[in-house]
Amino acid sequence: MTMTVNEIPANVHLVDHPLVQHKLTLIRDVKRSTSNFRQLLNEIGTLICYEITRELPLELVDIETPLAKIKSPMISGKKLVFAPILRAGVGFLDGMLSLVPSARVAHIGLYRDPKTLEAVEYYFKAPSDIADRLTMVLDPMLATGHSAIAAVAQLKKRGARDIRFICLIAAPEGILAFCEAHPDVPVWTAAIDDHLNDHGYIVPGLGDAGDRMFGTK
């Protein structure tokens, strides 16, 4: 199922920065080592974080430089929560926290039932004030969309209202399912690949992100 540019839903944003695209090509390579894969995912996390925070509102605050008193911009408004879906979402986390060290972290444990491909929750821990924060859900692969849909539903149930979904590679099937389930949640991805295979893997994709990141295959 290939998706043409005209079929991409309006709230799906492509991160087309050359550095991200370059590193995405490197990370797709089957010969990439585990440590290099993890490092690249971290770096891409930092770069994507830079892109998705571009629209955060600013306010002018009073400061004093060694030479003068001025009004200078600082980020205002809601504070951030990074919410990696375990386990592959963790790959983005350190890179993002390096840019926004004060962000809080919510962990969402979901695994894919290998037969039904449905998401099953086994862990959830989020900051208690999540309703007042902007939540970025992290998962490198938006495949069937089941995990992403379930993770966002769990966050909404706990009060989160302002949510973005961040991935590295999305399948057309996952995008359509996710945007139908959560039309209020914008998606950020570096690539929209061709299709899902019969095992729910994205083609051409990069294989199993968790296994490649942690060397568990």
DSSP structural state of residue 7? G
**Contact predicate 168/141, CB 8 Å:** yes
Contact between 201 and ligand URA (CB under 6 A)? Answer: yes
Q: How many CA atoms lie within 13 A of 142 on its CB side?
A: 31
**Binding-residue pattern over the window 55 to 94 for ligand URA, x denoting contact by CB under 6 A:** ---------------------------------x------
32 is annotated as an active-site residue: no
- Contacts by residues 30-35 (CB-CB < 8 Å, ≥ 24 positions apart): 30/207, 32/212, 34/212, 34/213, 34/214, 34/215
Give dist(CA 52, CA 165) in Å, integer. 10
Is residue 112 flagged as an active site residue?
Answer: yes
Instruction: Look up 116 and say whether it is catalytic.
Output: yes
At a CB cut-off of 8 Å and minimum separation 6, what does 141 contact? 88, 167, 168, 169, 170, 202, 205, 206, 209
Q: Which of 29, 113, 116, 129 is catalytic?
A: 116
Phi, psi of 137 (to 5 degrees): -85, 130
Q: Which of 94, 132, 162, 211 is catalytic?
A: 211
In terms of CB distance, is 1 or 58 closer to ligand URA? 1
> Which among 10-18, 44-52, 178-186, 200-208 is the span making contact with ligand URA, rule CB under 6 A?
200-208
Residue 198 CA to residue 117 CA, distance in Å, equals: 10
Contact characters 102-141, ligand URA, x per CB under 6 A = ---------------------------------------x
Binding segment for ligand URA (CB under 6 A), chosen from 8-16, 38-46, 59-67, 202-210, is 202-210
46 labelled catalytic: no
Q: Which of 202, 212, 174, 200 is nearest to 8 (CA)?
A: 174
- How many of the chain's residues bind ligand URA (CB under 6 A)? 10
Closer to ligand URA by Cβ: residue 51 or 208: 208
- The vertex-95 CA angle with 100 and 126, nearest 5°, equals 60
**Which one of the spans 69-77, 78-86, 90-98, 205-213 is the region binding ligand URA (CB under 6 A)?**
205-213
* C-alpha–C-alpha distance, residues 133 and 108, integer Å: 16
Stretch that binds ligand URA, among 4-12, 75-83, 103-111, 196-204 (CB under 6 A): 196-204
Decide: is 209 part of the binding site for ligand URA (CB under 6 A): yes
Site residues (vs ligand URA, CB under 6 A) = 88, 141, 143, 200-202, 205, 208-210
Active site residues: 112, 116, 208, 211
